[in-house]
Amino acid sequence: MTERTTTFGQSLGFPGTAAQRNKVLRNTYWLLCLSLIPTVLGAWAGVELNVAPLFSGILGFVLFLAVAFGFIFAIEKTKNSAAGVPILLGFTFVMGLMMSPLIQHTLGYSNGAQLIMTAFGGTAGVFFAMASLATVIKKDLSGMGKWLFVGTIVLLVGGVINAFVGSTAGMMALSMAAIAIFSFWMLFDIKRIIDGGETNYISATLSLYLSIVSVFQNLLALLGIFGGERD
């Protein structure tokens, strides 16, 4: 969710040709698929190494924000160079590590593997729905960005507060809101590419990747609360 502080203020730029826009969209989708590989490897390594204590509590949340902001800054600085893709893939590996406590917790349920696959399928469904919707909507959605940005900031603040409070009800409310907000971020970002507002596929991949990860994590958390089964 934190990439919005760097991508939200970018100018729309010139729309370019349809071929150029299609190329950016195609490269974004390919890099997005590639980014899932180090994410899975990072999650597996995190579970095997039991890094959950490192990312627990308020200190873990602060560590997550610090690492995320650091990588996002580096990616934005190198997005027009050969180093951009390796740094982005390194970031996705680290994101896999950071997701591993949730994965490990979910695997503690007797139906944990099923919940993970359900969350993955649900996230893929949301992405394909938003991507399809972006191709048929003719209206300019640029005005949606400021509202999504505000919603993301509210989520961040709510996450920090709930890290201290530890409320299950609060976590459920934040997770449901996050799924909705980041689903619309997907729509917004894909539409920007289609309209020519985003011309760098590394930045586009970063934005979409973080939205996808956010939807997956929050959907998995909700599935664990409502559908987790203990032996």
Q: What is the pLDDT of residues 132-157, one digit of tens each?
A: 999 999 888 888 989 999 999 999 89
CB-based contact 96:43 (threshold 8 Å): yes
**Confidence band, pLDDT 50/70/90 cuts, at residue 41:** very high
Residue 110 domain flag: yes
The 10 Å Cβ neighbour count of residue 31 is 21
* Alpha carbon 92 to chain centroid, angstroms: 10
Residue 152 domain flag: yes
pTM: 0.87
Residue 4 domain flag: no
Residue 90 domain flag: yes
CB-based contact 208:31 (threshold 8 Å): no
Please check the confidence at residue 13 and state whether its pLDDT lies above 50: no
What average pLDDT does the segment 61-83 reach?
88
Residue 111 domain flag: yes
* Alpha carbon 10 to chain centroid, angstroms: 19
Residue 180 domain flag: yes
What is d(CA 206, CA 89) in angstroms, rounded to the nearest whole number?
10
CB-based contact 7:207 (threshold 8 Å): yes
What is d(CA 108, CA 103) in angstroms, rounded to the nearest whole number?
9
What domain range includes position 165? 13-227
Residue 7 domain flag: no
The 10 Å Cβ neighbour count of residue 171 is 19
CB-based contact 42:95 (threshold 8 Å): yes
Residue 169 domain flag: yes
What is d(CA 158, CA 114) in angstroms, rounded to the nearest whole number?
29
Q: Which residues of 217-230 are buried (b: 16+ CB within 10 A; e: fewer)?
A: bbbbbbbbeeeeee
The mean-pLDDT minimum among 4-13, 108-117, 207-216 falls in 4-13
Q: Is 143 helix (H, G, I), strand (E, B) or coil?
A: coil
Number of domains in the chain: 1
